[in-house]
Structure 1
Amino acid sequence: MPQWIWQKSNWPMFSWRDADLQPLLRQCHRAQGQLLGMAGAISHDAQTTDALDTLLSNVITSSAIEGERLDVGSVRSSLARRLGLVDEVMGRASRRSEGMAELMLDATRHPDAALDMERLLRWHRWLFAAHDESLLPLRIQVGALRGDEPMQVVSGRIDRPVVHFQAPPRDGLEVQLDAFLAWFKASEKNAALDPLLRAGIAHFWFVTLHPFDDGNGRITRALTDLALAQAQPQAIRFHAMSASILADRQGYYRVLEASQKDGLDITMWLQWFLRTLLDSLQQAQQRIERVLMKARFWQSHRKDDLSSEQAKVINRLLDGGEKGFEAGISASQYAAVAKVSKATATRHLADLVEKGCLMRLPGGGRSTRYVVQH
């Protein structure tokens, strides 16, 4: 059996190789500053919409990391309502999405509120808000610390299990959590500790304690968002770290497992954490750049008198990431998106080319494709 990190005599006295982390830290701080500068250049309405989309992405992807699928429309409605927004796709919100919205907004919008045991247990209750407790597995205690059974993450055959992780024993868990919460409070004011490293340490420490029967990963990521909000309240509104974790979910589990079986030097974990944070910041920059590009485009073509169908297709192309449109749009695709005939689509496309909105790519016949002309 491996010796787990929490079994080390000097647990949880973490250490790291600062020289190995400084380049990543500089890149993350630079990306934060660039993101805030870009966000400041878009309209207030666009900022609000982007913040809603970011919160939604964090909620959906944090659950997806655990293999749980949430109703996107329901979660979006819950978030929009709490933000005082009238969203164009507002629908009925479920108890489940209401609880997830409460958790995410509490973590990201109230960085000055104390993180204590009461708040953690409240988060856990919100996480399971929609679950009928009579239908939950008997081992799951909602809004309470885990039971006395050993907490393990296991895979493989029943007769030959592979133990990927084992949490500290239940006995003494309250003392360990009190130590973590005391550190979390004191470290916020520690000028010698980079706030981004603090977020990475908090993530690793809490998920290693694994204090609940279920939901530990999602609570850990909410706690990480809280730490990042305390570090930079404005920036957290525009990037979704859980989405970047989901993109490398297997890497996430591998580095956690390796670090939890290693010594108290957590450099490897912090490197992965900072690289993933940097990815989330860069993804946000690209998204906001598309917003800015879209604004510039419509400013240039404000007098072109486009039809509603033409504007709809242009917006789809400008939003980026449209499946099937990576190499431009064809007349048949235009007809499907705009819901017009093929002849009308061809006429609309020719008009858009003439007005300088679209550019026709080389090729002819049915293969002719068009891209936005920036």
Structure 2
Amino acid sequence: TGEVIYTPPPPSDVSQLMKEFVEWLNNKSNISPVLAAGISQYKLVDIHPFLDGNGRTARVLCTLILYQNGYDFKKLFSLSEYYDKDRAGYYEAIQSVRENEMYMTYWLEYFTEGLKNQLIEVRAKGEKAIKKEIIIEKAKKFNLNERQQKILLLLLKKERVSVEEMRNILNLVRRTVQRDLSKLCDLNLVKEISKSKTDPTKYYKLL
């Protein structure tokens, strides 16, 4: 369209702006680390000190600040994933600061909402990883065969699956799937959810 979205500061100003930014970074102890991370991410993007990679570098800095303040995400966390799902919202939030005389409320609301969503995903991933380890240990304890282990891992991935879905995904005979599921139910590893024995909507899930 030819529209200029953002014009960075002139190169002659970057050195001083970065000096002021670093001084602020080293004296931000009275600010919540979450807000400090959000402000830092915006400031580095705004100063635009590099020809390329300013956004990525800003997100790395943001993650570092959080990590230094006890937010250890065990490599399960990436704000980039959140921004990639909502590029328009990300740019709108960034632009709102520039259009409102550096008033950061809208950007920080967007940033903290993204952080919250990613933390929820981290928790879900962590819980799934723990559950997978528990399943592996139970498989060893009950001496489950390879098919039965695959059924458990499938249920971990999809949460609820019908016999027909299992048969198609695992390429097994229906009777074999039913027999394995019956054993897993007897071992209290899997639960059958149905209204009756002949319920066509019957499915299975992990206990």
Q: Same fold (TM over 0.5)?
A: yes
Corresponding residue to 1:361 among 193, 196, 203: 193
Q: Check if 1:351 corresponds to 2:183.
A: yes
Report the counterpart of residue 55 of structure 2 in structure 1: 217
Question: How many matched pairs?
Answer: 205
Report the counterpart of residue 149 of structure 2 in structure 1: 311
2:94 alignment partner, SS class: helix
- RMSD of aligned alpha carbons: 2.6
Counterpart of 1:170, as a letter, is P
Per-residue deviation, residues 107-150 of structure 1 (Å, max 9, x unmatched)? xxxxxxxxxxxxxxxxxxxxxxxxxxxxxxxxxxxxxxxxxxxx
Counterpart of 1:182, as a letter, is E
Report the counterpart of residue 280 of structure 1 in structure 2: 118
1:307 offset after TM fit, Å? 1.1
Q: Check if 1:171 corresponds to 2:9.
A: no
Report the counterpart of residue 370 of structure 1 in structure 2: 204
1:227 offset after TM fit, Å? 1.6
Rg (Cα) greater in structure = 2
1:295 offset after TM fit, Å? 4.4
Q: Is the 8 A contact 2:193 2:202 kept in 1?
A: yes
Q: Check if 1:199 corresponds to 2:37.
A: yes
Tell me which protein shows more helix as a share of its residues. Answer: 2
Counterpart of 1:306, as a letter, is L
Report the counterpart of residue 60 of structure 1 in structure 2: none
1:294 offset after TM fit, Å? 3.9
Report the counterpart of residue 81 of structure 1 in structure 2: none
Q: Is the 8 A contact 1:331 1:342 kept in 2?
A: yes
2:4 alignment partner, SS class: strand
1:245 offset after TM fit, Å? 2.7
Counterpart of 1:370, as a letter, is Y
Q: Is the 8 A contact 1:313 1:337 kept in 2?
A: no
Q: Is the 8 A contact 1:225 1:236 kept in 2?
A: no
Counterpart of 2:29, as a letter, is A
Counterpart of 1:228, as a letter, is L
Q: More relative contact order in 1 or in 2 (CA 8 Å, sep 6+)? A: 1
Distance 1:339 1:331 in 2: 11
Q: Is the 8 A contact 2:9 2:47 kept in 1?
A: yes
Counterpart of 1:165, as a letter, is Y
Distance 1:295 1:236, change over 3 A: closer
Per-residue deviation, residues 148-183 of structure 1 (Å, max 9, x unmatched)? xxxxxxxx2xxxx23222211223222222322232
Distance 1:236 1:338, change over 3 A: closer
Q: Check if 1:329 corresponds to 2:161.
A: yes
Matches within 5 A, 1:123-162: 156=1, 161-162=2-3
1:218 offset after TM fit, Å? 1.1
Per-residue deviation, residues 216-254 of structure 1 (Å, max 9, x unmatched)? 211111121122122226346443322223333321111
Aligned-pair identity in percent equals 25
Per-residue deviation, residues 304-356 of structure 1 (Å, max 9, x unmatched)? 332111112212322x4x4xxx5x22333323443433332232223323333
2:6 alignment partner, SS class: strand
- Please list every run of 5 or more consecutive structure 2 residues that lacks an aligned counterpart in the other structure: none
Distance 1:236 1:228, change over 3 A: farther
User: Given the two structures, how large is their TM-score scaled by the length of structure 2?
Assistant: 0.83
Q: Is the 8 A contact 2:191 2:204 kept in 1?
A: yes
1:205 offset after TM fit, Å? 0.5
2:3 alignment partner, SS class: strand
1:172 alignment partner, SS class: helix
1:163 alignment partner, SS class: coil
1:272 offset after TM fit, Å? 1.4
Report the counterpart of residue 289 of structure 1 in structure 2: 127
Distance 1:236 1:367, change over 3 A: closer
Per-residue deviation, residues 56-89 of structure 1 (Å, max 9, x unmatched)? xxxxxxxxxxxxxxxxxxxxxxxxxxxxxxxxxx
User: Given the two structures, how large is their TM-score scaled by the length of structure 1?
Assistant: 0.49
1:171 alignment partner, SS class: helix
Q: Is the 8 A contact 2:162 2:202 kept in 1?
A: yes
